[in-house]
Amino acid sequence: MTDLVTATEAALEGELPGARGELSHGVLHALRDPAGAPLPDPGAAERADPFGDDLQLALYVSYELHYRGFAGVDPAWEWDPGLLALRAAMERRFLDALRGRVAGHPDVYEALDELLVEPVDGTGVSYFLRDEGRLRHLREYAAMRSLYHLKEADPHAWVIPRLHGRAKAAFVAVEFDEFGGGRAERVHARLFAGLMTDLGLDPSYGRYLDAAPAEMLANVNLMSLLGLHRAHRGALVGHFATVEVTSSPGSRRLAEAMRRTGAGPAAEHFYAEHVTADAVHEQIVRRDVIGGLLADEPSLASDVAFGIAATTCLEDLLGDRLMAAWRNGSTSLRKPL
């Protein structure tokens, strides 16, 4: 496994995916064309489904230029004015639609408390995988989640320069754990590559982008959108808090699913690692990250609440897609593994 992961890490860039519509075709064609094909007009973003495959893929590709980029794509595209203008139009479309779906909570801490309430008879994805899921379901889930977990914690790191004092110190303490506490072999992205290897998946960066549905792209895009804009720092903290608060119980169920199905030691270890670590992180996030941020900037409370609500909304949309497909006996991916 070590040799495979090392080889994977050596191939730092991903491969460009196939297009899914007018917007994504235009963006991908421009990135592939050394002569500089024209980008779609920003008005095309207003005609696109804000939660659909086309806009979400175009947005994902434009954000990925700020991470590892794509093989054969000129790094100068990262700050191309035309692409940034198009991206801004797509962001507005996406954010406006999200704000139309969710309402922020009047009390941030009550919103966090609600996340901690575990239903007696849970019916979500992690419950299904724990109780009924087969290896094929776990493989689909891991392939989809690899879009985030192979760069785990990177989108949240954008907010660090936008915080200060107690909030920054606590945020960095949590991120330090996500990045392996200074040990490369314990970086969570690398642990997830080991999980994928156990499940017989290809842990190459971005390998399953073509297979991932819009609902998964939207979840990753939300992190990038919030992280790349200082104005949305409060919402990104809300997103970060939601992930940390809900991670421990969900990870426990997923670790049990990996154990029950015999997925492999690395597969089980990835989620077992998150059970204890994220239980501790939840307290730090509540007390020091959110507490410190709102002590310094109380006006950001509504933004934090929006981040919580938006994250929950998109995770619910993803969960609905997975459960509808799995209950129907079909794949949740755009193409089967």
Q: Tens digit of pLDDT for each residue in 308-332?
A: 999 999 999 999 999 999 999 999 9
In this model, does residue 257 exceed pLDDT 90?
yes
In this model, does residue 8 exceed pLDDT 60?
no
Per-residue model confidence as pLDDT tens digits over 145-203: 999 999 999 999 999 999 999 999 999 999 999 999 999 999 999 999 999 999 999 99
Q: Which residues contact 36 (CB under 8 A, 6 or more apart)?
A: 30
Q: Residue 5's pLDDT is what?
A: 44
| pLDDT (average), residues 249-274 | 95
How far apart, in whole angstroms, are the C-alpha atoms of residue 221 and residue 227?
Answer: 10
In this model, does residue 2 exceed pLDDT 50?
no
Q: Residue 1's pLDDT is what?
A: 35
Q: Is 299 buried (19+), middle (13-18) or exposed (0-12) by CB count in 10 A?
A: exposed
Q: Residue 335's pLDDT is what?
A: 94
Query: Please, what sign has the CA dihedral across residues 21, 306, 113, 173?
Result: positive
In this model, does residue 217 exceed pLDDT 60?
yes
Name the nearest CA neighbour of 53 among 83, 29, 24.
24
CB 56 within 8 A of CB 221: yes
| Token representation of residue 78 | 């990262």
Q: Residue 278's pLDDT is what?
A: 64
Q: Residue 7's pLDDT is what?
A: 44
CB atoms within 10 A of CB 262: 10
In this model, does residue 6 exceed pLDDT 80?
no
In this predicted model, which residue has the larger pLDDT, 123 or 235? 235
In this model, does residue 47 exceed pLDDT 80?
yes
CB atoms within 10 A of CB 181: 10
Q: Taking all residues of the chain, what is their mean pLDDT, rounded to a whole number?
A: 93
In this model, does residue 119 exceed pLDDT 90?
no
| pLDDT (average), residues 21-50 | 93
